[in-house]
Amino acid sequence: MRRCLPVLLVTAGLFAAFFCSCGTGRLLAVRQEPLIQEAEEQFERGAYQQALLKYTAYLYSPHVSKPNEALALYKMGYCQFFLKNYRDASQTFQRFLADFPNDPRAAEVEELLGKTKEYQRQERQRSRERVEAAVREIVNLKQATEADPQDAEKQFQLGESYWKMGQFDDALKAYEKAIELNPRYLEHPSIRKRLIVSDDASLALRPSPVTPKKDGPIRVRNVETKHVKRADFWGVHPTENVYVVSGEVINVGDRTCTNVQVEVTIFDFYENVMDTRMVRIGTMRPGQRRHFVAELNRFAGDPLDIRRYETQVFYEEQ
């Protein structure tokens, strides 16, 4: 009888651990459901950015049990679609069809996927047309400035065209030539916004403006940008222009913030949104710093004035 006692104790312990783990799993599943409810409420109000934040938090949570995964994935794609993030929407819809091919919403998702691909095709076409028009404009203006090197207005317009194409060094030279021919161009709004005039009258490009969210405990600081070209190792895919925004996120408050995300948006010369990217940071304790990098390449290689960008932070306070 004494020999059986340890065996009974071990068995009882195993059963207790099993039931505790099951209870914990059920508890975790129950805790997730309010997040879906909040996402659905935001979605019904048309607050798609906030709803996307909630659906994303649910899908990428560490919990194994996600009974509403299909719903969250479906609505996540819808939010991206409404926000015109067509590339992200396309990837989300493809994932939905791969993971839930027999879901009743599969036919609707296939239709939406077709629309997102068509919108992406149209965006690429418009981008190519803008680039081709800008290139033609530069060629014509270069010919005009060669024919009449003393025409300050033509030099200024050449600088504007270079700027639209993202050729900022060439734009600076053309601006300098326009100012040399007519110093009044120093007061032009474009030049005042884009160039720094030193005490010795030399000109330099202004750093890219950044507009982080000022209020709240999560701040974006030490932002750097660069325009790079990237191609795959084998050269199968053509070289594409990539705009990289990197920086630091700091929790300056006294509370822990969860589900911290940084949204980076870039704009073209005409103030149109060229691309936007959401970077997930995670949980941040008071005083904690986290580095982030956003690679934006959804402008079809179109370099039209992608110097202007904005950042916005999303988070939940505990």
- The answer to whether residue 209 scores a pLDDT higher than 50 is no
Predicted TM-score of the model (pTM): 0.51
Does the domain spanning 4-104 belong to CATH 3.90.550.10? no
Query: For all residues of the chain together, what is the average pLDDT?
Result: 78
Mean pLDDT of 131-136: 85
| pLDDT for res 141 | 94
4-104 and 218-317 share one CATH topology? Answer: no
Q: What are the tokens at 137? A: 């404009």
The CATH architecture to which 148-205 belongs is Alpha Horseshoe (1.25)
Spatial CB neighbours of 18, under 8 Å, sequence gap ≥ 6 = none
- Kindly state the tokens that stand for 134: 């800008």
* pLDDT reported for residue 214: 54
Q: In the chain, where does DSSP find H-type helix? A: 4-44, 48-59, 69-82, 86-99, 106-147, 152-164, 168-181, 189-194
Q: In one letter, which amino acid is 315? A: Y
pLDDT at 60 over 60: yes
Banded pLDDT at 87 (limits 50, 70, 90): confident
**In angstroms, rounded to a whole number, what is the distance separating the alpha carbons of residues 296 and 301?**
10
Q: Is the pLDDT of residue 175 over 80?
A: yes
Q: In what order do the strands lie in the sheet with 257-267?
A: 273-284, 257-267, 309-317
Confidence of residue 100 (pLDDT cuts 50, 70, 90): very high
Averaged pLDDT for residues 240-263: 84
CA distances from 115 to 73, 87, 97, 276 (A): 17, 11, 15, 19
Backbone angles phi, psi at 263, to 5 degrees: -100, 125
**Quick check: 113 pLDDT over 90?**
yes
Per-residue pLDDT for 137 more than 50? yes
pLDDT of residue 185 exceeding 70, the answer is: yes
Question: What are the extents of the domains in the chain?
Answer: 4-104, 148-205, 218-317
pLDDT above 80 for 30: no
CATH topology of domain 218-317: Immunoglobulin-like (2.60.40)
Percentage of the chain beyond pLDDT 90 is 26
Residue 35 binned pLDDT confidence (cut-offs 50, 70, 90): confident
